[in-house]
Amino acid sequence: MKENVASATVFTLLLFLNTCLLNGQLPPGKPEIFKCRSPNKETFTCWWKPGTDGGLPTNYSLTYHREGETLMHECPDYITGGPNSCHFGKQYTSMWRTYIMMVNATNQMGSSFSDELYVDVTYIVQPDPPLELAVEVKQPEDRKPYLWIKWSPPTLIDLKTGWFTLLYEIRLKPEKAAEWEIHFAGQQTEFKILSLHPGQKYLVQVRCKPDHGYWSAWSPATFIQIPSGDPLMLGASHYKNLKSYSPRKISSQGRLAVFTKATLTTVQ
């Protein structure tokens, strides 16, 4: 009797599986965690790419544990980071601790798991772009005119405690030009440019990076019209006392043009 029941069960299961296969229904494909980012060392988010869904509704869950621990935890927030993401708020974020995480995809036909990803928040910091970019042409009575640029740090970053240090870069170009001129601004939030073509409309952007981490995206472009007249002084200088800088141009073809004292050298 038991053998008949077992045989009937196996037959039913095989029939079910065969029907699903004929209908193109399969277990889900393997997901992949492809990016983790922290904007401020206090929170972070990880995103994954789903695999194939096997033709069935598929559910995803992210589980993790910290190195040295055995207790597994599920993602605390699937909403804040958008679709296919897991967000870790302040109460779940620890610096200098390695998180080991994995995504599980499950549908009616089975499950699949991503590879484990090891994440240390210290090394995934990418701030938001700087804010409040302001650009103005200054024309002192006793000096040549110059372009004055000012901005504010991203709001999510606390620079007052010294916990975070930001460096800045500025890029600008005439509206129809293919090349950007890049200037490194150090930790300053003010800068002046002395090398511009009169009568041109310029695009200006700024970005930032922490002392350990990645450059932010560029801020939205700000436009400024340079008045017609005598050319502005050649060269560039910081608004404050930054002793060294290295202006350069980046072409859309990927060639790097480096200014020396009297020549323009193109690096292939």
Query: Total structural domains in the chain?
Result: 2
Tell which of 98, 123, 148 closes a domain: 123
Q: State the pLDDT at residue 194.
A: 82
- Shared domain check, 143 and 208: yes
In a domain, 220, yes or no: yes
pLDDT above 70 (res 266): no
Tokens 């090394």 correspond to 123
Stretch 221-244: mean pLDDT: 57
135 with 222, same domain: the answer is: yes
Domain-embedded: residue 260: no
Which of 96, 123, 150 is the last residue before a domain boundary? 123
For the ranges 15-19, 78-82, 128-132, 249-253, which has the lowest average pLDDT? Answer: 249-253
| pLDDT score of 62 more than 80 | yes
Of 11-20, 95-104, 143-152, the range with the lowest mean pLDDT is 11-20
113 and 189 both lie in a single domain = no
The residues, ordered by sequence, that sit 6+ positions from 109 with a Cβ below 8 Å of its Cβ are 20, 25, 26, 27, 28, 54, 56
| 44 found inside a domain | yes
Q: In this predicted structure, which of 48-52, 155-159, 160-164, 198-202 has the lowest mean pLDDT?
A: 160-164
- Check whether 22 has a pLDDT greater than 90: no
The residue among 76 and 141 whose pLDDT is bigger is 76
pLDDT score for 197: 79
Do β-strands 146-152 and 190-193 pair in parallel, antiparallel, or remain unpaired?
antiparallel
User: pLDDT > 70: what percent of the chain?
Assistant: 74
Per-residue pLDDT band for 7 (boundaries 50, 70, 90) equals low
On whether the CB atoms of residues 78 and 45 are closer than 8 A, the answer is no
**By the 8 A CB rule, do 160 and 151 touch?**
no
164-213 pLDDT, tens digit each? 789 999 999 998 888 999 999 999 999 988 877 788 889 999 999 988 78
CA gap 181, 179 in Å, rounded: 7
pLDDT digits (tens, 9 = 90+) for 67-100: 988 899 999 999 999 999 999 999 999 888 899 9
Domain membership of residue 255 (yes or no) is no
Residue 180 or residue 251, greater confidence: 180
Task: Kindly state whether residue 249 falls inside one of the protein's structural domains.
Answer: no
Which CATH number covers residue 149? 2.60.40.10
Domain boundary among 58, 88, 123: 123
Mean pLDDT of the chain: 77
Q: How far apart are CA 116 and CA 99, in angstroms?
A: 10
192 lies in which domain range? 131-226
Predicted pLDDT at 109: 83
Average pLDDT over residues 132-156: 85
- Whether the per-residue pLDDT at 244 is higher than 90: the answer is no
Q: What is the pLDDT of residue 24?
A: 62
